Amino acid sequence: MKYSLFTPAFYLALTGASMAGAMSVTVTPSIPSPAPVGTMVTFNTAVSDASPKLWYRFRVRPQNGDYQTVRDFGPVPSLQWTASAHEGAFDVEVTVRDLASGQTERSSALFQFTPLGAAAPVVSPTSHPLVFLYSAPACESLKRMRVEFVGPDGIAQYTAPQDCGAGLSMNFYLAGLRARSTYAARYLLVSPDGSSERGDEVVKFTTGTLPVSLYDADVKIPSVDSSDRILLGSPFTRAAVAHDLAGNVVWYGPSDLAYITRVEAGGYFWGLFGSTTNDPALQLVRKVDLTGMTVLETNAARVSEQLAAMGKRPITAFHHEAVPLPNGRLAVLGGVEEIMTDVQGPGPIDIVGDMIVVLDKDMNVVWSWDAFDFLDVRRKAVLDEKCPQSSCPPMLLAKTGNDWTHANSIQVTHDGNLILSMRHQDWLVKIDYADTWGSGRILWRLGKDGDFTVNSNDPSPWFSHQHDAGFEAEPPLFFSANRYARMLPRLMVFDNGNTRVAAQGGGNSRGQVYEIDESARQATLVLNADLGVYAFAVGSAEKLTDGNYHFDAGYIRETAGVTARAFEVTPDGTITYDAGANTPLYRSFRLADMYTPQ
């Protein structure tokens, strides 16, 4: 049978719905309670009298507190979890849904985590050889605590701060550490007036060894001095790796993510996982902590179930982007498809587009935007890319088709709307989001044949097949003509340059910054850095704290294979740092430490 994404047949195939009987549920921890803070516990679910097609949702709460979803409904029957901030009793709840009968049952296990540093600071190993848990006694209310730790290079690093109070011990993951090295750690207490005091007791610890499967970094142009001392690279289907600017490994991520999409403050990372089976329930978006533990997760089948209930097109998988938004929300990109006749070619053609889905803190759908509803589907991909050759998300309606939009990044703007980068349209579009109240209409299109004129002396000023577009921080105010006004905002983008390179018969990728005058619909190219390499796909662009820019040329075809390069570029286009990787990198990020994204 051939399914349309709107038919009941597709939805029944997605959920496996039929009839079944009653069931009972229990959840059991892998070790007896209590256990020290930071101890990883596996909570296993047992179900009797149910059909084979089950979904499980896991939620956690401090005893008598509010539940927080950790993993939304999906096919995985167990959860690995620990309390890492404070001791206490925690309810771990599982809800099981029988997809055949629709019946749901729940069960919970109460687990007690005990303090490690109740009397004096201690440092404990975790399952990650480069991540340690620092535990300190409770501190006074209204103060904040963070941890300073120093290694053999003498450079001090600092954790994100936490609020004191409630008589609970304080616990912090220490990360950004070199292998086989000894570090010294102590806490800092910060008072409401901004003054701080160091703890008297210094705790020393030694890191472990590295796995052999990590990719290498090759520093070609060393950094003279930078406050953004860490380069985090995310390859495809391999563990992400953080190096210091000298090329030493200081952290690596879990190997069960396809790639990391964004870094969140406090030491958290968003990533995607896609099963080769194309089962939407196994296409995941996941938030992990520094140890790799899952903090929040959902899957494309669960999101599609909610979209279908709202009368919207389901998604086939997540791809390219998962980015945190204000108010604890998350924006993800999903693949959507529709077979259309005589639109992008003769006869029926499966057209693959994109959907933005915004989820709340419990992974519930609160807003969505579908390219089929707001773009002219007659404007096919600029270079006529086809699926599956151009690395499309999974397709459920046909084996081949047109890769129409191929979006790759989302950014929330200063006025509460969204910027979407669409590689195969050579456009950045601004979408009316208005913090979930927007209509989704296209406010403007930036790029060749869009709504802006460009001010530049370059004969080919526009980006093409670009990646990772976004505005810099909100521009400052200035005083002019007896009033205050803002400087024009600047937008960064990595210009892969595929369309330009194809037209010219050669060329390099560029790091670009445009000054954007939305009212006049004019873009002024203020940085157009030739990076000296051509990245056929993927890449990153971000502003560094010293005013320079970071650009990632993520997919460079060379004789020996596919490599990547990460550059630091000054505002005048001078390259001041260059590090290569012996593997393609989907994105890379420059960080001050493992807790602070740009």
| pLDDT for res 10 | 44
Helical (H) or strand (E) element with 44: strand 41-48
Cβ(171)–Cβ(116) under 8 Å?
yes
Structure tokens at 49: 């009298």
Give the pairing type, strands 104-114 and 35-36. parallel
Largest Cα–Cα separation, the chain = 77
Structure tokens at 43: 């909570």
| pLDDT for res 20 | 43
Q: Which residue type, as a one-letter code, is found at position 554?
A: G
Alpha-carbon span 153 to 485, nearest angstrom: 45
Rg (the chain; Cα; Å):
25
Query: Can you state the percent helix, strand and coil of the chain, rounding each to 5?
Result: 5, 50, 45
Whole-prediction pTM: 0.94
In residues, how long is the chain?
598
Cβ(191)–Cβ(181) under 8 Å?
no
DSSP bridge pairs for 149: 157, 185
Alpha-carbon span 346 to 353, nearest angstrom: 19
Cβ(247)–Cβ(178) under 8 Å?
no
pLDDT by residue for the chain (598 residues), tens only, comes to 333 444 434 444 444 443 445 789 999 999 999 999 999 999 999 999 878 899 999 999 998 899 999 999 999 999 999 999 999 999 999 999 999 999 999 999 999 999 998 899 999 999 999 999 999 999 998 999 999 999 999 999 999 999 998 899 999 999 999 999 999 999 999 999 989 899 989 999 999 999 989 999 999 999 988 889 999 999 998 999 999 999 999 999 999 899 999 999 999 999 999 877 889 999 999 999 999 999 999 999 999 999 999 999 999 999 999 999 999 999 999 999 999 999 999 999 999 999 999 999 999 999 999 999 999 999 999 999 999 987 888 999 999 999 999 999 999 999 999 999 999 999 999 999 999 999 999 999 999 999 999 999 999 999 999 999 999 988 776 656 666 667 899 999 999 999 999 999 999 999 999 999 999 999 999 999 999 999 999 999 999 999 999 999 999 999 989 999 999 999 999 999 999 999 999 999 999 999 998 7
User: Would you call 594 helix, strand, or coil by DSSP?
Assistant: coil
Q: CA torsion 500→502→507→512, rounded to 10°? A: 30
| pLDDT for res 224 | 82
User: Would you call 171 helix, strand, or coil by DSSP?
Assistant: strand
Enumerate residues 6+ apart whose C-beta is below 8 A from 537. Answer: 391, 465, 467, 496, 554, 555
Alpha-carbon span 563 to 342, nearest angstrom: 40
To which residue do tokens 């950094």 refer?
223
Q: Give the angle 266-272-275 at the CA atoms, nearest 5°.
A: 150
| pLDDT for res 194 | 87
